[in-house]
Every structure is written in C-alpha cells, then in structure tokens.
Structure 1
Amino acid sequence: MDTINTHFRLSHQIKDEAFQLSQAGNCNLYIAISAKAVRFAVVDVERNKFVVLEDYELITVFTPLQVAEQLNLIAAHSPVLQEQRWLNVRISVSNQYFTLVPETLFDPAHQEDYLQLHSDLDPKQHVILYNRACGPEVVNIFAVDGVVYRMAQSLFPERSVQFVHHTSSLIRSALHQNDRKDGRSMQLFVERNYDTILVVDENGLQFCNVFHYLSPEDFIYFVIFVMQEQKMNPEQETITVWGDITHDSSLFNTLKKYIRQVRFGKRPADVGYSYKFDDMFEHRYFELYSLHFCE
C-alpha cells in the first residue's frame, strides 16, 4: 500500500528482557485492532506468560482504509509484526458489526442474513466471519472491513490467522473470571467513543451490546438504560470496568455519580505476566489479555 503519512503514536511498550524474537516459535501473537488503536501482545506458551505489549494510538484516522494503511506502517516499524514464526496469530476487531446466534439456529449459509438484521453493512466492503463466542452454545457472526482484513492477512503470509470479534474474547474472559455464585453482574469495557456492556449471571451471558457515545452523558445513558432493561438496581449492583478509562476521568466520575458501587477489573487469571507489566493499571488492555482464552 502506497502511503507516506504516519498517523500513529507509540503510547506504551513493554518487553521482558528474557524474551527474544528467536523464541517466537514457542509464542502466540495477539493483535487488537480498532478505529482508534492497534495493540498487540506476545505470550510465551511454554511459560504461559505475557512477555511483550505494544500500544499504538491512531491519530486523525477516520476510515478503514486509513486504519489499514497505519497497520502497514506500524508493521514496518515493529519487528514483532515482521516476525513470521509464531505458533498462533489471533486478531480481534472492534466494531458494532456483530450478532449472537444460538448454535441450534445457526446455518453458515445464512450468516450474512443474520448479520444484516442487526447491522448496516455492505457485503462488498466487508468480510463476514463467525466463531463460537462463549463455548459451543453461541455463535458470534461479525464483519471485518475488507481492507483491514486483507492487510492483516498480508502481514502473515506464512501463518493461518484467526480473526475474532472483540465481544467474543470479552465474553469468554468475563465468563472465565466471573464467580457466578455472586448472581447477576454488569461488566463494562470502555474504548474511545465505544462502550461494550455485558451482563452475566449464574446461567451465563444474558446481555451483550456495543454502544457509541460522544460524551459522558451518552455514556451513562446507555449504562442506565441497560440496567433498567435488565432490572438491575444502580443503588445495589456492582459494576466492573475495564479498558481505556482512568480513576480521574470524566467517564469514571459520571459513573460514580449514578452507580453506587463501581470497581476496576483485574487482569485475567490463569495466565502469568512479566514483572514489566506491574506498573500498568490492571484494568487496561483487557481486550488483548482476553484473546488468550479464545479458541
């Protein structure tokens, strides 16, 4: 792709000094792509430990073509994305083009029809995929912008790349971590201008959707709306928050104003993290860590 304009900024980089790219054959590479960021992490499978993380913020990027262009430039900048010997390459895409369908009703021949009911997409510009969202019972049908899909594939010509929707990895991780004996709970994953809301209980996933917000008022509106629909009490429920939100942000202050109990989530358990990760807030990069639990 012919472009000379750089519209990304490396905002965070972690590398365990014990890791070398020559060890890639024993590691998985996880990549999270959204309209606002390209992030990736490496897990040493033998040690079951995250050892690398890089976070690139996309600046003045507005179209899928521009995201694909910046992904290509980031790959040229990062030796990690130039490496080909990974055990597995798993990529999550974050957007609103998804729908969850019970396995018993799912017919692969009609995946586009399912998605068209919920998403305004163009089959000529999108690639439609699916995977199991939370075990064998539910299928997540989702779309990836074609230019982003082809660019990501082209980075790893020697590997079969697995694509998942970001809701699939969040659902798997939330169910993996959640103590269902505590009853119903709401979990928020916050990105710039997007908020994924999950509600889980002892029977599993009860609600999942992605909302677009432009202000703290929009943000809290969707949270309260879902709580009302799910018959949850803002005075009694505890909401767990992950993602791009900080303790002193307007989003968090607005949450605390309307919800009595708000807490930040922790990194997923059952996988280790290099000590280099200790200086980061545990609720950050949940979408990357959660890719470890996808199949």
Structure 2
Amino acid sequence: METTKSTLYKLVSRVKDNRFDVDKLHDYCLLLQIGIRDIQVCVTDSKDNSCLLVEDFLLLEIKTVNARLKALANLFENHHLLKAGFWKSVKLSLKSHKFSLVPSSHFIPDSIGEYLKLNCVVNPNVEGEYYYQHKSSNVVNAFAADKRLVSWVESLYPAIDVTVMHQGSSLIEAILRQKGATEGKNVYCILDRNVLHVFVSQSSQLYYYNQFSIKSSKELLKYTMLVFKEFELDQRTQPVVFWGSLSEKGESLALLRKYIRNVNLGKKPGFLRFNYMFDEIPDHHHIDLFSMHLCD
C-alpha cells in the first residue's frame, strides 16, 4: 500500500472490499481516528451504508506531539488515498482523556475551558478546545486535543467541512442504538489497547461514561467492578457487553467471568453492511471507528 518503507509507522491490519472504486470517492466517507500512538482509517459508502476499507496503523517512537505529527505526515504522504480531496465527507475522531459531558441545555461554547477544568488541565499552547453536539442524547461532548493536528487534517481537505469529534462521541452513538438492550441499566465496555471506556445507559439515555488507563487484567476487573458498585448492579444478572482488544479465550475475559456472570463480546454494528472479506476482523473490534459513520 505504501510507496516507500517507513520507520515512523507500522501497518497492523488492512481489509479492503473489492468493490472499492477510486472513481467513486465523491460517494465515500473517510473516517480517521487518531490516538497518541495509533491511527485507524475506514471508508464507508454513503449510498448503501457499506464498509469498504479498514486499516489500523501503529505510530512508532512517539515521544512528543511533533513526533506524532511527523509520523502522520509521513504516512499520509505515502498513502494512495488519504490525500485525495474528493470525498463526500471527512470525519476526524480524536482519542483523548480530556473531555467533559455537558447537558445541551446548559452548554455554552465559550465556556468549554470551564467545563474541562473540572476534569483535567489543558495546555492552551498545544491544545485547542472542541465540542461535538449529540443529537440523540441531548448532551455535548467538550474536549481538548492537539490543535496543530486538527488544523493539519483540516488543511488537507480545504473543500470539505471536516467533522471533528472525541472518540467517546462515536461510542455514545453506538451504545444508544444497541438492539436487545434490557429494560434496566445496560453496561457497555470498550477496551482500546490500554484504555478502558465504560458506559451505563438505560432506555436510550446515557447515565455514565468514563475512561480508565489500565495495565493488566486485574485493573480491567477493578474498574469494571467500581462501576458495578457505584450503580449497585448485580454481578449474577447484570449483562455486560465488551468490544475492543479482548479475545474470547484470553485472560481478561476469563477473569471478568469469574466475578460477573453475564459478560459477552459485542457484534459488528447493524448500521453498516460488511462483505465477506471483513469476516477476518473479529466482530467486537473497531466499534468506535465504525460508529463514526453515525456522526454528522
């Protein structure tokens, strides 16, 4: 895929639908999800809501914000699609622990800094303040992110109004659309490499969302159980759905099931169509990336 080799990034996985047509980029949506040391790429067809491309990259030797931007620039320069400017839409999701959920009725764009002060410290020299308005849950996700990165991505697509969001926003949209939810509270967890996202919802309303940095299966269990305790959930009956970097036979899932009886891995989303070649991607992977398709 790359025209030159690079020591700045590594392709982890790539799946492409053979129906992908470069002459139809004007019908396709480009989804970019960027973390501190990784980036995921997805292309969806707006006409039939199908997934056409998924790529996962690791960014190597990232110790500064400048190093990350350099690695990304190198990747985009060597990629045969990412610098194309004819997409129907471009969406950018940023992984950040600096966020705050605010009720829509109380949200004031000029007060993002005040909302964030409750949860984190923002460096105005490096980070900009952004927000994403959720239409399905009457909540606003205010967050901080590398402003040079956002400006750089926007500059690549001058003819397109890039939608900028926080990773949690695509996940919120995903869980509030889950079919088969119980009448009581529902718990959803996403393990994105070493970050655990936990959500609690009921009747299509979001009650809780938080992130935890974890280094072991024991910490994964610890933070999941903290949420159970906070909401007084029954370990014997409460269903929990997990997406992300877990495996059915792995240590983390085995440990969770010792303490929580009803733990299951999530499925691919029903709002996108997947051709047979995407069967090689485990059903519980990339829910955050795929759910960007829902965000306008």
TM-score, length-scaled by structure 2: 0.93
How far apart in 2 are the matches of 1:123 and 1:234?
43
How far apart in 1 are the matches of 2:25 and 2:6?
30
- Pairwise CA distance, 1:146: 2.1
How far apart in 2 are the matches of 1:60 and 1:234?
41
Is residue 174 of structure 1 aligned with residue 179 of structure 2?
Answer: no
| Mapping of residues 215-254 of structure 1, within 5 Å | 215-254=216-255
Contact 2:8–2:74 (Cα < 8 Å) also in 1: no
| Mapping of residues 89-238 of structure 1, within 5 Å | 89-133=90-134, 135=136, 137-202=138-203, 204-238=205-239
- Pairwise CA distance, 1:6: 2.5
- Pairwise CA distance, 1:201: 0.8
Please, which moves more after superposition, 37-46 or 65-74? 65-74
Please, which moves more after superposition, 8-17 or 143-152? 143-152
* Amino acid in the other structure paired with 1:120: V
How far apart in 1 are the matches of 2:229 and 2:137?
29
Count, aligned residues: 292
Which residue of structure 2 aligns with residue 81 of structure 1? 82
* Amino acid in the other structure paired with 1:204: Q
- Pairwise CA distance, 1:148: 2.2
- Pairwise CA distance, 1:253: 2.5
How far apart in 1 are the matches of 2:232 and 2:145?
33
* Amino acid in the other structure paired with 1:30: L
> SS in structure 2 opposite 1:272?
coil
* Amino acid in the other structure paired with 2:147: G
How far apart in 1 are the matches of 2:63 and 2:237?
40
Distance change in 2, residues 1:48/1:98 (3 Å): same
> SS in structure 2 opposite 1:124?
coil
How far apart in 1 are the matches of 2:251 and 2:137?
39
- Pairwise CA distance, 1:136: 5.9
- Pairwise CA distance, 1:203: 5.3
Which residue of structure 2 aligns with residue 43 of structure 1? 44
Contact 2:43–2:51 (Cα < 8 Å) also in 1: yes
Identity %: 26
| Mapping of residues 267-278 of structure 1, within 5 Å | 267-278=268-279
> SS in structure 2 opposite 1:199?
strand
Contact 1:6–1:73 (Cα < 8 Å) also in 2: no
Contact 2:137–2:206 (Cα < 8 Å) also in 1: no
> SS in structure 1 opposite 2:81?
helix
Contact 2:177–2:204 (Cα < 8 Å) also in 1: no
> SS in structure 2 opposite 1:167?
helix
* Amino acid in the other structure paired with 2:46: V
Contact 2:137–2:205 (Cα < 8 Å) also in 1: no
- Pairwise CA distance, 1:157: 2.9
> SS in structure 1 opposite 2:236?
coil
> SS in structure 2 opposite 1:158?
coil
**Which sections of structure 2, spanning at least 5 residues, go unmatched?**
none
- Pairwise CA distance, 1:178: 4.1
How far apart in 2 are the matches of 1:220 and 1:132?
32
Which residue of structure 2 aligns with residue 8 of structure 1? 9
**Which sections of structure 1, spanning at least 5 residues, go unmatched?**
none
Contact 1:169–1:293 (Cα < 8 Å) also in 2: yes
1:123-178 deviation per Cα after TM superposition (whole angstroms, max 9, x unaligned): 22111111123526111101111232233223323322111101111001110124
Structure 1 stretches of 4+ moved >4 Å: none
TM-score, length-scaled by structure 1: 0.93
Which residue of structure 1 aligns with residue 66 of structure 2? 65
Contact 1:111–1:141 (Cα < 8 Å) also in 2: yes
How far apart in 1 are the matches of 2:153 and 2:46?
22
> SS in structure 2 opposite 1:115?
helix
How far apart in 2 are the matches of 1:68 and 1:251?
33
The root-mean-square deviation of aligned C-alpha atoms, in Å, is 1.8
Contact 1:12–1:56 (Cα < 8 Å) also in 2: yes
How far apart in 1 are the matches of 2:259 and 2:65?
35
How far apart in 1 are the matches of 2:181 and 2:17?
35
Please, which moves more after superposition, 269-278 or 177-186? 177-186
How far apart in 2 are the matches of 1:90 and 1:116?
27
Please, which moves more after superposition, 191-200 or 255-264? 255-264
